[in-house]
């Protein structure tokens, strides 16, 4: 894939970039390694000041960077502005809390003496240069939720961003530079995916984090495993959205629409499979279909647009294949299921609801990365759990019920990194984020996320 900005609303290539050559990559890794030797020894106060400054600059740049993101990957500009604001919030969260999250831990005194020590401390130390391989769907947020904790922990970062968001990637490097970070603390590498293996195998690169597709995760994990380097992987998701009879149906429907079409439906944690109890299934189906049909599809720069184009032409083609396969095997599209009439330019696709989905259909197993919802009918909570878990993914989940026994059942038995009750799955700096099964491993955000790229060190002292 060329490194280029291609406007998804028109299909027009706006700007192309040359990939870095091997010499350029070598120099940038060397600079990152050199920067780490100094950054690792800076105080939390100094790191906090730098990250807070970056947050302030991002707030100032919010409108401009939002338009850049929308131009590069098609999300509604209103959502892009919200993404930028969320990033600044996360920066400030880590700037204020990192020192406490990484404070020395003191084991119980009796255990210390039992180990033969006069004193012992557990300390969190940085690992070194961390490579981040990031996707296009949240081109600012995905990077910041890695960069903010990694930099606060004392690491330095190398960003290999998706090839269709190069201007956003370069903006991020410039943002940290303008905030006052020393040269090499955070750099963008404009390279293709073929360059990732060589970078990860470089002995100066200590670890990697990847958000992206399952094949990309397998490739990075294989190389990192061969090199015995730590990784965090956040891969695909096919999140269930369970609705039981005790749910507030009006709120559930309204949330379901947002949960399915957020970011034009291109979100790993978007609700994709709607599992509804038979007692409320028909009412939910009718209201959900009507609300999806009413969404405004159009120019993502228009403030009134609900759903913009898909980010890439191939992404739309993949989505069309899944829908066509489902309909060909007997599913019914109660709305959508096609490109909008008259949309001759751009990679638009109508919000779609599919009913009658069965195991024979690819969409039952594969992630639909676009505004397409699958709707299922179940007879009870146990059947809902079985269907929720009938997927190779396990990123997050939603359950709408006010029944405490059902909540306990779902909390215990749903196989996912999160269960959100009576609300929409969302990431927040204070809450750990990540999945199980083929959705990956490791955690981002919260204290768990900042410690992923730390050397958890035992300091043991004998008699002194």
Question: For residue range 360-411, what is the model confidence (pLDDT) as tens digits?
Answer: 999 999 999 999 999 999 999 999 999 999 999 999 999 999 999 999 999 9
Average pLDDT score over residue span 191-214: 97
Average pLDDT score over residue span 107-127: 97
- Closest to 263 (Cα-Cα) out of 1, 4, 82, 62: 82
279 within 8 A of 245, measured Cβ to Cβ? yes
Mean predicted lDDT score pLDDT of the chain: 97
How many residues can be counted in the chain? 464
Cβ atoms < 10 Å from Cβ of 31? 18
- Give per-residue pLDDT as tens, 338-347: 999 987 899 9
Active site residue 268: yes
Q: Residue 342's pLDDT is what?
A: 81
Q: Residue 335's pLDDT is what?
A: 98
HEC states along 206-268?
EEEEEECCHHHHHHHHHHHHHHCCEEEEECCCCEEEEECCCCCHHHHHHHHHHHHHHHHHCCC
Helix (H) or strand (E) holding 315: helix 313-328
| Residue 349 pLDDT level (bands cut at 50, 70, 90) | very high
Whose tokens are 């904790």? That residue is 149
279 within 8 A of 383, measured Cβ to Cβ? no
- Cross-strand bridge partners of residue 332: 355
> In sequence order, which residues have a C-beta less than 8 Å from that of residue 421 and are 6 or more positions away?
398, 399, 400, 401, 407, 410
d(CA 159, CA 146): 10
Q: Residue 344's pLDDT is what?
A: 82
Q: In the numeric block, which tokens belong to residue 324?
A: 């066509």
As a whole-number percent, the residues of the chain with pLDDT over 90 amount to: 98
Average pLDDT score over residue span 181-198: 98
Q: In the numeric block, which tokens belong to residue 285?
A: 């189906």
> Active-site residue among 234, 350, 444, 452?
234
Q: How far is CA 351 from CA 37, 322, 340, in A?
A: 50, 14, 9
Distance of CA 395 to the CA centre of its chain: 10
3-state SS, residue 109: helix
Cβ atoms < 10 Å from Cβ of 38? 13
Average pLDDT score over residue span 57-69: 98
pLDDT at 300 over 90: yes
d(CA 180, CA 175): 9
> Active-site residue among 72, 83, 173, 268?
268
| Residue 79 pLDDT level (bands cut at 50, 70, 90) | very high
Q: Residue 343's pLDDT is what?
A: 79
pLDDT at 464 over 90: no
165 within 8 A of 141, measured Cβ to Cβ? no
| Backbone CA torsion sign across 88, 90, 93, 94 | negative
456 phi and psi angles, rounded to 5 deg: -80, 105
- Closest to 258 (Cα-Cα) out of 464, 79, 456: 79
**Strands annotated E in 36-161:** 119-126, 129-133, 156-160
Q: Residue 400's pLDDT is what?
A: 98
Average pLDDT score over residue span 56-75: 98
Q: Residue 463's pLDDT is what?
A: 84
Whose tokens are 């098609």? That residue is 74
Average pLDDT score over residue span 269-291: 98
d(CA 352, CA 152): 42
| Residue 154 pLDDT level (bands cut at 50, 70, 90) | very high
- Give per-residue pLDDT as tens, 224-277: 999 999 999 999 999 999 999 999 999 999 999 999 999 999 999 999 999 999
Average pLDDT score over residue span 322-344: 95
Long-range contacts of 118-123 (CB under 8 A, 24+ apart): 118/461, 118/462, 118/463, 118/464, 119/461, 120/458, 120/459, 120/460, 120/461, 121/458, 121/459, 122/456, 122/457, 122/458, 122/459, 123/456, 123/457, 123/459
Q: Residue 216's pLDDT is what?
A: 97
411 phi and psi angles, rounded to 5 deg: -60, -40
191 within 8 A of 160, measured Cβ to Cβ? yes
d(CA 71, CA 94): 29
Active site residue 234: yes
pLDDT at 1 over 90: no
């Amino acid at each position: 894939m060329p490194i280029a900005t291609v406007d998804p609303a028109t299909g027009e290539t706006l700007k192309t970039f040359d990939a870095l050559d091997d010499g350029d990559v070598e120099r940038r890794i060397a600079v990152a390694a050199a920067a780490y030797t100094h950054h690792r020894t800076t105080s939390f106060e100094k790191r906090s000041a730098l990250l807070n400054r970056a947050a302030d600059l991002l707030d100032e740049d919010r409108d401009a960077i939002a338009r850049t993101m929308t131009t590069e990957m098609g999300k509604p500009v209103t959502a892009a502005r919200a993404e930028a604001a969320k990033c600044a919030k996360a920066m400030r969260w880590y700037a204020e809390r990192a020192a406490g999250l990484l404070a020395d831990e003191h084991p119980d005194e009796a255990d210390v003496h039992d180990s033969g020590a006069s004193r012992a401390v557990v300390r969190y130390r940085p690992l070194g240069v961390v490579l981040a391989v990031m996707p296009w769907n949240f081109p600012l947020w995905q990077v910041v939720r890695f960069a903010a904790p990694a930099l606060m922990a004392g690491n330095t970062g190398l960003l290999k961003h998706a090839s269709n968001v190069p201007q956003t990637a370069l903006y991020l490097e410039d943002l940290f530079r303008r905030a006052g970070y020393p040269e090499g603390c955070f750099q963008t590498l404009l390279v293709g995916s073929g360059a990732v293996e060589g970078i990860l195998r470089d002995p100066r690169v200590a670890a990697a984090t990847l958000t992206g597709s399952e094949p990309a995760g397998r490739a990075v994990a294989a190389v990192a495993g061969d090199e015995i380097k730590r990784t965090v992987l956040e891969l695909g998701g096919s999140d269930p959205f369970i609705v039981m009879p005790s749910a507030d149906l009006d709120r559930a429907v309204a949330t379901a629409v947002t949960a399915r079409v957020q970011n034009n439906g291109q979100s790993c944690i978007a609700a994709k499979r709607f599992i509804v109890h038979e007692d409320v299934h028909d009412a939910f189906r009718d209201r959900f279909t009507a609300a999806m049909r009413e969404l405004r599809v159009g120019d993502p720069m228009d403030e009134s647009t609900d759903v913009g184009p898909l980010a890439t032409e191939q992404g739309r083609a993949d989505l069309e294949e899944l829908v066509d396969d489902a309909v060909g095997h007997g599913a019914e599209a109660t709305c959508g299921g096609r490109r909008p009439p008259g949309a001759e330019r751009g990679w638009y696709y109508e919000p779609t609801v599919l009913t009658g989905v069965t195991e024979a259909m690819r969409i039952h197993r594969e992630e639909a990365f676009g505004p397409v919802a699958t709707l299922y009918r179940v007879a009870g909570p146990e059947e809902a759990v079985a269907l929720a878990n009938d997927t190779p993914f396990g990123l997050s989940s939603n359950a709408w019920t006010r029944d405490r026994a059902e909540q306990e059942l779902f909390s215990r038995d749903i196989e996912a990194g999160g269960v959100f009750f009576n609300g929409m799955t969302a990431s927040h700096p204070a809450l750990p984020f990540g999945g199980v099964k083929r959705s990956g491993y490791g955690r981002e955000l919260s204290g768990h996320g900042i410690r992923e790229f730390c050397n958890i060190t035992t300091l043991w002292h004998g008699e002194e």
